Chains A and B, each alone.
Chain A
Amino acid sequence: MAYTIPKETYSGKVLGLEFGKGPKALKVGGENTLPFLSFEGNIPNKPVIAYEIQDILPEDWPDTVQKQYTAVSDNPVKWAQFCQNDLKAQAVALRLIGTHPDRGNRSSEDAAKTVKDVLSAIEIPLIILGSNHIEKDASVLVAAAEAASGYNCIIGKAQEGNYKTIVAAALAHNHKLIAMSELDINLAKQLNILITQMGFDKERLITDPMCSALGYGLEYTYSVMERIRLAALLQNDATMQPPIVGDVGMYVWKVKETLASGADIPQWGALEERGILWEAITATAMLTAGANLLIMRHPKAVETVNKVIEELV
């Protein structure tokens, strides 16, 4: 007797979301099956990887990644163009880390100017991220949303402590929005509910359940993402159907395994290769858990994960 593949049927569907504008606009989500299980359903859009850049010199990034961008990282416009033109990036994620009170405390106006300059220099979609400082982000992201008006960006991250002003700005300037909670499935759902209750369409939301690096809580992120997807697909939970983002790079490039040199710990092997693998493996795990959009740093890691995507889709 011929073997029949057992198939699960899903009652729900991940929402599709488009960002950017013009011919380079991107679409993520829209699948009605678990990640890469295309034999069970339809996966209309591949996961997308955005290159992370920032508004100030990436002095806190380890050498392995810093040196990839030495020629351009003193200027976010050049950096964004490098990603677009040289690295063939599909999207760029601009982190306004310099607005953090402990990292230079740049003003909202300065941040808004950076956003404007970057947007006018590239054609690929832009993701605009704050510095993850609850109070400061509430003003920085509002200014950034206004500066990016008409570009259909993704802005974030709206959190429990600041979502109201950020949601209002995303609403007013027609952006997509990342809602982030800290590794708590119930809070992730609650935040999505609160945001949609403000009149923000769930079709314009992206869920960030908070990323973590391999060896540093990856399994927690994995479980939360997986549970979100199961709620979306098997329980048809409308609040859990937005696409998921994995903000991989910032969690990976600070752990010991991406910092310690091969001379210090010979049994771990060469640092550069190890760091790239650490980011690629963390990112791949996020994809298999359900992430639709990844934010990453090292070009080699991006290349590796893109290859995985090509082979699995």
Chain B
Amino acid sequence: MLIIGEKISIIAKKVREAMMNRDPKPIQELAEAQWRAGAHFIDVNTGPAEEKGDELMKWMVEIIQEKVHSPLCLDTTNPVALEAGLKFHNNQWGRALINSTSNEPERFVMLELAAKYNAQVIGLTLGKGGIPADAEERCGIAAEIMARAAEYGVSLEDIFLDPLILQVCTMQDQARHSIKAIKMFQELNDPPMKTVVGLSNISNGVPKTMRSLIDRTYLTLLMYEGLTAAIMNPLDKEIMDVLKTTNVFLGKTLYAHSYLEM
């Protein structure tokens, strides 16, 4: 399973300050730490980044890829900022991943950019109708995103469908619907559609000491259904250990007594 390191986010105070002050060091350190811990992509969340968002994203892409030889997951709702990031993304270590398009008209432009820059893109199954009620509704939205991707010239193999993970503490049933959606998404195409989740959404709002437990338990269920990628915290050793163990159960890693150290 692909790990998308979530730590570089405008929501984190330290990262936000470094972004504002254009101080590369804290951002580079976080990127390197996640990469060393096994992240395949580094998520770069600059939020809406309305003012000079393009400058910020370009700077972020350059300083991170100066230190980390992995592709980035560009996470912004601002298409101008996104395009700036894509323009400067170094594809030597893999193609960029756009986070994200959805079934909302203002997000269609992300598909246009994916096609223009040969990037991969996350398709969040969220539409005008608000939060999808169940797995079936998520599949309906996914089908619309897939049809639109074809119109824009984005290959279905470059799309990661995201069922939209919701917090278990207020929407308990949704946890189950999202698991089912991961299974159903794959059946929408042959070869199976790729899937992704924002894992820590599941534990939003729960007491802090329980978050890691909830995240990692949920992860095993999603992996069992064939999840392709997760935006998660690779610096959380407990989650990583569960991920590695699940990979052993699923036959993706050959067992050895020291498998956790690998």
Contact = CB atoms under 8 A, between A and B. Distances in A.
A186 interface: yes
B258 A185 contact: no
Contacts of B252: 235
Contact of B254 (A194, A197, A227): A227
Interface string A222-239: 000001000100010111
Interface string A171-213: 0000000000000011101100110010000000000000000
Contact of A235 (B254, B256, B257, B258): B254
A236 B257 CA distance: 18
A240 interface: yes
B88 interface: no
Q: Chain B interface secondary structure, helix, strand, loop or mixed?
A: loop
Interface residues of A, number: 15
Nearest to A227: B254
A239 B257 contact: no
A189 B254 CA distance: 8
A186 B262 CA distance: 14
Contacts of A186: 254-257
Interface string A258-294: 0000000000000000000000000000000000000
B256 A239 contact: yes
A78 to B, nearest CB: 43
B253 interface: yes
B261 interface: yes
A193 B254 contact: no
A193 B253 contact: no
Nearest to B252: A235
A231 B262 CA distance: 14
Nearest to A185: B254
Contacts of B261: 193, 197
A240 B262 contact: no
9 contacts: A185-B254, A186-B257, A187-B256, A190-B257, A193-B258, A227-B254, A235-B252, A235-B253, A237-B253
Interface of B: 252-258, 261-262
The 8 closest A-B pairs by CB, nearest first: A189-B256, A190-B256, A193-B258, A231-B254, A186-B255, A190-B257, A186-B256, A189-B254
